[in-house]
């Protein structure tokens, strides 16, 4: 009799434990990356590396199967590897898609640098991707018509949606639908891309989505000022996962937060979220996690990364005769890390601008380069090789010699200072500011004088500094170097300068 009662009690406990009550609350996790250009660890192996990120990803999945991995734009370009050729074609981000496919990303959005690629190359990368994309305001211009971008799978076009919906279910049966809205900054004009108004599109996206899901989140690639405006337009969004800035930040909004991780996966954001279906409240605990050498690489993703590193070692020899030749030695680190390179004059920025002047036999009054052109996100120490310089300046491009009025030069220099923290910050040679006065080659700037300035060709396109272009009447002439001149490729100019130095 006693044994029968004991069995009944045990059976009752088992039934009770196996039938957990639906509490109408559900937990899920977001893992956020943005602005990733390097697949392998950087800074001497100390930080970053997508193999390490995948280890974190798998740990989070083990903790909660309701976990999503996001890329908030800017990953297909720029990188040294992307500029090289494989089987006769430029790699152009193929390596990143390969690694991201191996990591099983759950959602990606466009950044402005995705459109550095030609229409043909971008289409190839989209077709190769096995993860979904989302974007409301960037559209494809083809045959004078505007359509969404698409992936072509088995000869069928899968159009990239303006919104994205994911459904989760937990062990006690609670179900939830979450939606995502997404926009991209219109800072990279291309003849095959139409940028629709980001604020109109994100507002329309939210209105379309909100009644069919429980909660809406943002996945954006815009300036933080734009993210703040979006948060103000849509205060119901509890979290905007953003990109574009390269330094981590967490900004409080009316009803939630905006977060951005450090570029090149030096950090990632982990958002542990609980949604209460009864109260409609969203609780978010965000953790900025450093990706460093203490995290082991995921074996499978590490294999994919290493495959591409091997390709880099092989193919760089087609571009540089002696890629690993020691051209310079330094006991003082040359600083190309993202945060300083976009906010202060560094010794690496000084060497680059000195090289730009050297490329024209120092027959210029000063030299200027934007911090956003410098992409190594690392320090050079000890032996420096041509490969290092090509990593520093993966965009390449020419150095142009410009005759410019002093008044416009002052405006450009002032803009560069005010742009501290962004890619428009200017590194300078022979242009120094003492208090509020600029000195060119140790002489106080003359607003009426015509100066000869060496610029990186990108700066003359007006993307970073809107009023600096050949169309400005105070730009008197622009000299574009010929292919056999040192100034034709800024990277080769720096290599030549360091060899001489």
Domains of the chain: 19-290 (3.60.21.10), 323-500 (3.90.780.10)
CA 238 – CA 9 distance, rounded (Å): 45
Out of 299-303, 377-381, 473-477, least confident range: 377-381
User: Model confidence over 415-439: pLDDT tens digits?
Assistant: 999 999 999 999 999 999 999 899 9
Percent residues over pLDDT 90 in the chain: 91
CA neighbor of 186 nearest in space, from 169, 171, 199: 199
Please tell me the predicted confidence (pLDDT) of residue 143: 83
Task: Give the other-Cβ count within 10 Å of 378's Cβ.
Answer: 24
- What length does the chain have? 501
User: Model confidence over 219-229: pLDDT tens digits?
Assistant: 999 999 999 99
Please tell me the predicted confidence (pLDDT) of residue 5: 56
Please answer whether residues 186 and 225 qualify as being in contact, where contact means their C-beta atoms are separated by less than 8 angstroms.
no
Please answer whether residues 39 and 286 qualify as being in contact, where contact means their C-beta atoms are separated by less than 8 angstroms.
no
Grade residue 475 by pLDDT with cuts at 50, 70 and 90.
very high
Residue 377 has pLDDT above 90, yes or no: no
The Cα angle at residue 332 between residues 326 and 335, in degrees rounded to 5: 90
User: Model confidence over 210-264: pLDDT tens digits?
Assistant: 999 999 999 999 999 999 999 999 999 999 999 999 999 999 998 899 999 999 9
165-169: average pLDDT: 97
Query: Beta strand pairing status for 145-147 and 150-153?
Result: unpaired
Helix axes 198-209, 224-233, angle to 10 degrees: 40
User: Model confidence over 403-413: pLDDT tens digits?
Assistant: 999 999 999 99
Please tell me the predicted confidence (pLDDT) of residue 374: 94
Residue 367 has pLDDT above 50, yes or no: yes
353-364: average pLDDT: 98
CA 330 – CA 1 distance, rounded (Å): 86
Please tell me the predicted confidence (pLDDT) of residue 501: 84
Residue 88 buriedness (CB in 10 A; 0-12 / 13-18 / 19+): exposed
CA neighbor of 205 nearest in space, from 256, 164, 241, 172: 164
Please tell me the predicted confidence (pLDDT) of residue 355: 98
Find the radius of gyration of the CA atoms of the chain: 26
Name the average pLDDT for the chain.
94
191-198: average pLDDT: 97
pTM above 0.85, yes or no: yes
């Amino acid at each position: 009799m006693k044994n029968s009662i004991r069995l009944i009690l045990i059976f009752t406990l088992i039934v009770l434990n196996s039938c957990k009550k639906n509490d109408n609350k559900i937990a899920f996790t977001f893992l956020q990356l943005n602005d990733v250009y390097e697949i392998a660890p950087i800074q001497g192996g100390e930080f970053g590396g997508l193999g390490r990120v995948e280890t974190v990803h798998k740990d989070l999945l083990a903790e909660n199967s309701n976990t999503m991995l996001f890329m908030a734009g800017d990953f297909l370009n720029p990188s040294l590897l992307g500029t090289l050729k494989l089987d006769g074609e430029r790699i152009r981000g193929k390596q990143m898609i390969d690694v991201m496919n191996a990591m099983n990303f759950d959602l990606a959005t466009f950044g402005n640098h995705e459109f550095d690629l030609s229409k043909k190359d971008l289409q190839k990368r989209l077709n190769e991707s096995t993860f979904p994309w989302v974007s409301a305001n960037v559209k494809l211009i083809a045959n004078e018509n505007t359509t969404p971008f698409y992936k072509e799978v088995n000869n069928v076009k899968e159009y990239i949606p303006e919104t994205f919906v994911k459904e989760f279910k937990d062990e006690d049966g609670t179900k939830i639908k979450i939606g995502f809205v997404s926009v991209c900054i219109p800072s990279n004009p291309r003849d095959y891309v139409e940028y629709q108004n980001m604020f109109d599109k994100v507002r329309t996206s939210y209105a379309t989505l909100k009644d069919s899901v429980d909660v809406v989140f943002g996945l954006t690639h815009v300036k933080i000022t734009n993210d703040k405006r979006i948060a103000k337009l849509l205060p119901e969004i509890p979290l905007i996962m953003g990109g574009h800035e390269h330094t981590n930040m967490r900004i409080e909004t009316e009803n939630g937060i905006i977060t951005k991780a450090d570029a090149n996966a030096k950090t990632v954001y982990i958002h542990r979220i609980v949604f209460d279906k009864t109260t409609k409240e969203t609780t978010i605990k965000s953790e900025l996690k450093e990706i460093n050498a203490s995290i082991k690489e995921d074996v499978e993703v590490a294999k994919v990364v290493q495959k591409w590193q091997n390709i880099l070692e092989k193919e760089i020899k087609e571009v540089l005769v002696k890629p690993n030749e020691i051209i310079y030695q330094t006991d003082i680190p040359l600083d190309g890390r993202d945060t300083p390179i976009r906010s202060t004059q560094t010794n690496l920025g000084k060497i680059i601008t000195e090289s730009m002047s050297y490329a024209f036999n120092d027959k210029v009054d000063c030299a200027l380069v934007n911090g956003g052109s410098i992409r190594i996100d690392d320090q050079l120490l000890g032996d420096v090789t041509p490969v290092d310089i090509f990593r520093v300046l993966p965009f390449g491009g020419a150095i142009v010699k410009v005759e410019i009025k002093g008044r416009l030069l002052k405006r450009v220099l002032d803009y560069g200072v005010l742009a501290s923290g962004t890619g428009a910050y200017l590194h300078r040679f022979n242009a120094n500011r003492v208090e509020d006065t600029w000195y060119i080659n140790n002489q106080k700037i003359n607003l009426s004088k015509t100066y000869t300035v060496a610029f990186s060709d990108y700066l003359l396109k007006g993307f970073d500094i809107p009023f600096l272009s050949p169309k400005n009447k105070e730009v008197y002439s622009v000299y574009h170097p010929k292919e056999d001149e040192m100034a034709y490729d800024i990277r080769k100019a720096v290599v030549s300068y360091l060899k001489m130095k």
